[in-house]
Amino acid sequence: MNSEIRLLSGAMVMLALATSALVVLPYLEVHDAPPLPGLKPYGSAELRGRAVYIANGCVYCHSQQPRAKGFAPDFARGWGRATVAGDYAYDQPQLLGTMRTGPDLMNIGVRQPSEQWHLGHLYQPRAFVPGSIMPSYPFLFEAKAQADKGDVVVNLPALAAPAGRVVVARPEAVDLVRYLQSLDRSYPVLAAPATTP
């Protein structure tokens, strides 16, 4: 009986230590991370686009956390600098992602600023990135015989366009592109102040 109590006590101590090291201490360090200078809050269209991003499961294939040069080739791939806690100050919930089936999107607004490219890529990814495994999202678009005033017409390559019709982006697609274009963490990260002994 005494050995079971010691075993249980030891297990509880180890669990408490692990929880402190992996949950409590990191939370205390970054829970009040202020937004970095240069980070702008999302506008209403960007927030609606973020909701479309979440609803369509984009986070399952795309991360939003480029890693440091010493840990991964993310910088060499052109994905930008490693992110810090202040980069996510306006993100609730944070969409870090765990998979890299597709490229990291944290700085896609810098790497690919074209609205037409994003719209076309959402409509038919393989027309813009040969060999892409990304699914198309045709429900975010509408094929019409003629565009109406105010419609956002998507310029597609000839083989991807439906014959005799124009593809028009629905508001959800335009908002999603606004969100993707807002993903720009290219501003510099301020160095921590030097401490003197």
187 lies in some domain: no
pTM of the predicted structure, to 2 decimals: 0.82
| pLDDT at res. 197 | 58
Q: How far apart are CA 187 and CA 35, in angstroms?
A: 12
Q: Based on the domain organization, do 103 and 24 belong to the same domain?
A: no
Asked if 92 and 59 count as a contact pair (C-beta separation under 8 A), the reply is no
CA neighbor of 102 nearest in space, from 123, 143, 75, 131? 131
Sole residue written with tokens 């019409």: 144
For residue 166 the two structure tokens come to 């124009």
CA distance linking residue 7 with residue 196, whole number of Å: 45
Reading the block at residue 82, the tokens are: 């490693």
Q: Could you tell me the residue range of the domain that residue 76 belongs to? A: 44-182
Residue 128 lies in a domain: yes
What local confidence, expressed as pLDDT, does residue 188 receive?
83
Same domain, 84 and 117: yes
Does residue 122 sit within a domain? yes
Encode the chain (197 residues) as per-residue pLDDT tens digits. Answer: 678 899 999 999 999 999 988 888 877 777 777 888 889 999 999 999 999 999 999 999 999 998 888 888 888 888 888 888 889 889 988 888 888 888 999 999 999 999 999 999 999 999 999 999 999 999 999 999 888 899 999 999 988 889 889 999 999 999 999 999 999 988 888 655 556 65
**Cα dihedral 15→84→122→154 (10° resolution):** 160
pLDDT of residue 32: 77
Q: Is 36 inside a domain boundary?
A: no
Tell me what pLDDT residue 143 has. Answer: 93
In a domain, 140, yes or no: yes
In a domain, 97, yes or no: yes
104 shares its domain with 173: yes
pLDDT of the residue at 181: 96
How many CB atoms lie under 10 A from the CB of residue 103?
19
Asked whether residue 80 falls in the same domain as residue 126, the answer is yes
Question: Of 152, 162, 74, whose CA–CA distance to 118 is shortest?
Answer: 152
What is the number of structural domains in the chain? 2
The pLDDT score that the predictor gives to residue 161 is: 87
Asked if residue 154 and residue 69 are part of one domain, the reply reads yes
Q: Is the bond leading into 113 cis (omega within 30 degrees of zero)? A: no
| Rounded Cα gap, residues 37 and 31, in angstroms | 18
Position 36 scores a pLDDT of 86
| Residue 71 within any structural domain of the chain | yes
CATH number of the structural domain spanning residue 84 = 1.10.760.10
pLDDT at residue 192, rounded to an integer: 53
